[in-house]
Amino acid sequence: MIRILLVPVLLATSVSAAFAAAVAPAAMPVAPPASPKIAAPKLVEPHLHIVRSGASSHPRIALTFDACMGKADDRIISTLVKERIPATIFVTGRWLKRNPQALSVFLHNPDLFELENHGQNHIPAVDKPVSIYGIAAAGSPQAVRQEVEGGADAMRAAGITPPHWFRGSTAKYDLSAIAEIRAMGYRIAGYSVNGDGGSLLGASITEKRIASAKDGDVVISHINQPTHAAGEGVAKALLDLKVRGAEFVRLQDVADMGDDSTTQ
Ligand SMILES: [Zn+2]
């Protein structure tokens, strides 16, 4: 009698143990095996919109460009200057050091270019250890602060007006880093149209994406990859938008709405 009762109990025990063993790793797919106690942080990629013009013939669009590292894309910069198209440029300390000529163009056209903070070294503003697209995140609140302050310090040293907006490398954050950066006095710049897929898209698809921006959109693309095909598409799209009657604005010129507590 005792033996009969024990069998289902043993079965149940072994089944649940096996189930737990099979399920446990899957429940933490991103956690590195060496430190299973550290849960992967929840990352957000916030959206940002600007107040619409409400006039379909003049869609209001904020063009934002990231100058992450590397060089300057003169196909885009010269089109912006020649066509007198205003834009917001997010620069890193790292990029500023290598591109004094492009910086000089920005500073000589203050009616066109708003310069904002993209960090000191292009390190993702996530305060827990994680890798995003192969880039190691800041990893601690202190390192997030250093990335943001270091970016602003480099801008001041280069003669740029103190920034009010921050956009981190990869445009991804965890919520505690967002709260920390907001407490430092910044608005955080998400976007609503990914124009160039990190500058990795082809010219025609990039042109199509940006040229089809709608009233109230914030477009993100890159201004630091002069050898990539995407930049050619960006430059063409600027002309397409102008033909459409777009009203180009910088982030400092309009009211905005960001999600994930990035601007409220
Ligand atoms: Zn970047």
Per-residue pLDDT of 147-174, as tens digits, reads 999 999 999 999 999 999 999 999 999 9
Does residue 4 lie within any of the structural domains? Answer: no
Report the distance separating Cα 193 and Cα 223, nearest Å.
16
Q: How far is the CA of 198 from the centre of ligand 1 (A)?
A: 8
Rounded distance from Cα 122 to ligand 1 centre (Å) = 6
Q: Does residue 115 belong to any structural domain of this protein?
A: yes
Answer whether residue 36 is part of any domain. no
Q: In this structure, is residue 263 part of a structural domain?
A: no
Cα-to-centroid distance, 108 and ligand 1 (Å): 23
pLDDT in tens, 59-102: 999 999 999 999 999 999 999 999 999 999 999 999 999 999 99
Any domain includes 225 = yes
Distance, CA 93 to ligand 1 centroid (Å)? 11
Query: Domain for residue 24, yes or no?
Result: no
pLDDT in tens, 177-187: 999 999 999 99
Asked whether residue 117 is assigned to any structural domain, the reply reads: yes
CA of 56 from ligand 1 middle (Å) equals 32
Q: How far apart are CA 253 and CA 251, in angstroms?
A: 5
Residue 38 included in any domain? no
Output the CA 59–ligand 1 centroid distance in Å: 26
pTM: 0.85
Burial readout 120-149 (b: 16 or more C-beta within 10 A, e: otherwise): bebbbbbbbbbebeeeebbbeeebbbbbbe
Q: Which residue has the tokens 């800041």?
A: 138
Q: What domain range includes position 146?
A: 46-258
Q: What is the CATH number of the domain that holds 179?
A: 3.20.20.370
Work out how many domains the chain is built from and give that number. Answer: 1
For residue 221, the CA-to-ligand 1 centroid distance in Å is 9
